[in-house]
Chains A and B, each alone.
Chain A
Amino acid sequence: MNTLGNNIRAFIRYAGEAAPDPMHWLSGETSNSVNRTAEAVEVSDKRDPWARFIAGKRGGTIEITVYADKDSEAQTTMLENLAAGVPVEFLIGKVLADNEILGDGGIAIVTAVSDTNDFGAVASRTISLTVTEELDPNAYEIREEDE
C-alpha cells in the first residue's frame, strides 16, 4: 500500500563516542528525501562500440527540510555534529506498533545545514546527510528511552 509523506519522518540520534541520546523526531519537519546511489564504473572494451558499466560503490544521501527552530534539541544536535564532524544515527520512516520499523536507517555524517530566510515565510533549514554505511531499517534500533 502507498503511504502519505506526512507519516515518513526523520528520526535522529547523536552517534558520537559519548553515551547516546534518546532519539528525537526532527521538529517542524516539512519534507525529506532519500537518495540511494551506485556509481557506474566504466569497463568498456575499446573495440566494442557500446559503453559498458559495472556497479561501483553504493551510497546514499538524505535531505531533510525543517522550519528553523532555535529551541529544537534535535536541530541543535545536527548543527553541533556538523561542527564537530560527529556522525548521527538516523531513521527516515515510521515506527509501527511493537517498535517495528518501516523505512531506512543508518549512520551518516552531516554534510550541510543550510538556512533560508524568505520574506513572508517561516525561516527554514535544510539538513544534508551522507550515509556512511548500508541503508537498512534494521540498522536502527529502538531503545527504551526513545520518544
Chain B
Amino acid sequence: MSTFTSSIASAFKLIRNALTRQGVKIGGTAAYPRVEIHSVVEDAPQTKDNSVRSVTATVECVSAEKVADVVTLLEGNTEKLFADAGLVLIGWDVIGIVPGQVRLFDEQQSLDSAAVFYRVLQDVTIWLELKKNNS
C-alpha cells in the first residue's frame, strides 16, 4: 500500500550543501578548525502514508586552538542552515528546519599534552515531505 523511501541520503546532501561556504573545511579528516557532520538520524515515518520524515543531524565544529574559532563556525553554520530563503531539495519538500541543543566541550588532545580541542555540537531537526500527487 505505502512504499518506503529513505530520506537519509537526501538529508545528508541538504545539510552538506547548506554548510558549504568559502574558507570553511568540511569533513572528518580536514585540518582544524573544521566543520563535521557528526551524525544524521532519520526517525520512523511520521505518517501512515510514509510521506513525512523528521531527520535530526548533529553538526560539529572543532578547533585545536581557540574557542572563538568554533563559535565563529557555529554562527556561520546557523546563518546558512536557517537562512530566510530556506533550503531546497530534489524529490522532497522541506517543511521546515528547527534548531535544537547546542553544546560546547573542551577536551584534552592527548594524555601527555596540555593542548585542548574546542568542540561545539549543534542539533538541527529537518522536516521533509515526499513530493507527491495530491490526495
Binding site for B on A (CB under 8 A): 5-7, 9, 24-30, 66-67, 71-74, 94, 120, 122, 147
- Whether A24 pairs with B46 at a CB distance below 8 angstroms is no
Given contacts A67-B46, A72-B135, whether A28 and B52 have CB atoms under 8 Å apart is yes
- Whether B134 pairs with A71 at a CB distance below 8 angstroms is yes
- Whether A27 pairs with B51 at a CB distance below 8 angstroms is yes
A43 CA / B108 CA spacing, docked (Å): 80
- Whether B135 pairs with A122 at a CB distance below 8 angstroms is no
- Whether A28 pairs with B47 at a CB distance below 8 angstroms is yes
A7 CA / B98 CA spacing, docked (Å): 29
A26 CA / B134 CA spacing, docked (Å): 10
A142 CA / B94 CA spacing, docked (Å): 35
The total of chain B residues at the interface (CB under 8 A) is: 16
Given contacts A73-B134, A120-B125, A122-B127, whether A29 and B1 have CB atoms under 8 Å apart is no
Given contacts A27-B135, A72-B135, A74-B135, whether A6 and B125 have CB atoms under 8 Å apart is no
A24 CA / B135 CA spacing, docked (Å): 6
- Whether A67 pairs with B135 at a CB distance below 8 angstroms is no
Q: Contacts of B52 on A, CB cut-off 8 Å?
A: 28, 67, 122
For chain B, residues 116 to 135, give those with C-beta under 8 angstroms from any C-beta of chain A: 125, 127, 129, 132, 134-135
A37 CA / B48 CA spacing, docked (Å): 26
Determine which residue in A9, A27, A73 has the highest number of CB atoms from chain B within 10 A of its CB, and name it.
A27
